[in-house]
Amino acid sequence: MRWLAMGFVLLSLSVGAQAQFKQRSLPGDRLPPDSWSSPRLPVERPAGPTINDEVADVRQRVDKARDSGALSRREARGLRRETASVGLLAGMYAENGLSDAERRELDGRMQVVRDNVVITRTRAFDRKNGSR
């Protein structure tokens, strides 16, 4: 009877130990669609400009405004730095894939940079024409 009780205890310990060792999936493993829960999973997005496209577009606008004299060298340099910082952040985020929150953050930062370009150009125009 003692052997039977001891065998039962050992058996229950080994079953409990097996339950603790769950096989982990490797980063390249694909899980079935119903078990996806990561915010970094590929999401179908509508076709549109990527962050890199937007960074290049804003940089081109800054360069064009600088060449036309709408921005001073100092203003253009500051706007290029802002644009470059968003580009660097996008590169860091993209290493592990963009989550929805990261994409929204980058979109928001790009909107701020675009707004700063417009505001700076408007101020420069006002200074040139004696307004305000």
Highest mean pLDDT among 2-6, 28-32, 120-124: 120-124
The total of structural domains in the chain comes to: 1
Yes or no: say if 30 and 41 are a contact pair by the CB < 8 Å rule. Answer: no
User: What pLDDT does 3 receive?
Assistant: 64
Find the mean pLDDT for residues 102-131. Answer: 86
Find the mean pLDDT for residues 27-49. Answer: 53
Find the mean pLDDT for residues 32-36. Answer: 49
Give the chain's mean pLDDT: 75
User: What pLDDT does 44 receive?
Assistant: 54
- pLDDT digit string, tens, across residues 2-29: 665 666 565 565 544 444 444 444 444 4
Give domain status of residue 6, yes or no.
no
Q: Residue 83 is part of which domain span?
A: 47-132
Give domain status of residue 42, yes or no.
no
Give domain status of residue 112, yes or no.
yes
Give domain status of residue 28, yes or no.
no
% of the chain beyond a pLDDT of 70: 62
Give domain status of residue 105, yes or no.
yes
Give domain status of residue 34, yes or no.
no
Give domain status of residue 33, yes or no.
no
Give domain status of residue 36, yes or no.
no
Inform me whether the pLDDT recorded for 116 exceeds 70: yes
